[in-house]
Amino acid sequence: MMDQVQLEQFLRLVDRDFPVPLSQKQDLKEYSKKLLEKATLCFVCKDGKILSLVAGYTENLSENMAFITLVATRAEARGRGLAKELVQEFISLCRKKNIKAVHLYAVPTNVSAVKMYHKVGFREFYPVNEPRPEDTHLIYYLEDNGR
* Cα–Cα distance measured from residue 109 to residue 36, given in angstroms and rounded to the nearest whole number: 29
Instruction: Provide the residue type at 86 as one letter.
Output: L
* Per-residue exposure over 66-105, b if at least 16 CB sit within 10 Å of its own CB, e if not: bbbebbbbbeeeeeeebbbebbbebbebbeeeebebbbbe
Count how many domains the chain has.
Answer: 1
Q: Is residue 146 part of a domain?
A: no
Per residue in 36-85, pLDDT tens? 999 999 999 999 899 999 999 999 888 899 999 999 999 999 999 999 99
* Cα–Cα distance measured from residue 116 to residue 127, given in angstroms and rounded to the nearest whole number: 21
Q: Which CATH number is 38's domain given?
A: 3.40.630.30
| Residue 90 lies in domain | 4-141
Per residue in 131-141, pLDDT tens? 666 778 899 99
